[in-house]
Amino acid sequence: MAGDALDLAEAGPERELEASIEQRLIGRLLDEWRALRGHSALPPFSRIDPTALGEIWPWCYVLSLTPGQDDPVLVQAGAELLRDAGGIALPGPLSGLPPSSLIGQAVLHWPGVVERRVPISTGGTYPDLAGRTIRYRSVLMPLSEDGKGITHLLGAANGRVMVAI
């Protein structure tokens, strides 16, 4: 949005770490997905290890897909995404996510990932429940237990409150 800038009012060591994590979140998760994939078309869900993702896991999530159903299930989510979404219960249907939450926005492109069978990175702005404008980035990647059908999606998202200058 024209005239908006990142809110840098929270400058300090914690803010610097947060900015560093944001800058590499998407790239790091994509690198992990590619490494797990190896020579296969799609990496298996069973190889996803939240502890291996370390400091980026609080912004990651996993959706489970069931053939013939149009409402994936959120089966895992990091603490930051859960907090932002109001402490939603897991597992839970995608349709139950608050649309004015970071994860609620990040999952909107799941059908395209399933259709194209490749990672999709998106970004944009949305109004949160407090009426603030949030600018976000996200990535969503397909996973497969049998190497053929997509059984899960691995995603990550982060965002910032925007302020007008």
pLDDT of residue 22: 52
pLDDT of residue 52: 84
Give the chain's largest Cα–Cα span: 51
pLDDT at 155 over 50: yes
pLDDT at 4 over 70: no
4-164: CATH architecture: 2-Layer Sandwich (3.30)
More confident residue, 118 or 164: 118
Tens digits of per-residue pLDDT, 132-148? 999 999 999 999 988 88
Phi, psi of 51 (to 5 degrees): -65, -30
Strand residues in 3-53 grouped as ranges (E): 4-6
Task: Give the residue among 123, 121, 111 at the shortest CA–CA distance from 155.
Answer: 121
Angle at alpha carbon of residue 47, lines to 29 and 107, rounded to 5°: 45
Please state, for a pLDDT cut of 90, what percent of the chain lies above it: 49
Mean pLDDT of the chain: 83
Residue tagged 């997905």 (tokens) = 33
Strand residues in the chain grouped as ranges (E): 4-6, 60-64, 73-77, 92-93, 120-127, 133-143, 152-164
pLDDT of residue 18: 46
Alpha carbon distance 25, 60 (integer Å) = 9
Q: How confident is the model at residue 53 (pLDDT cuts 50, 70, 90)?
A: confident
Query: Whole-model pTM above 0.85?
Result: no
Alpha carbon distance 33, 24 (integer Å) = 14
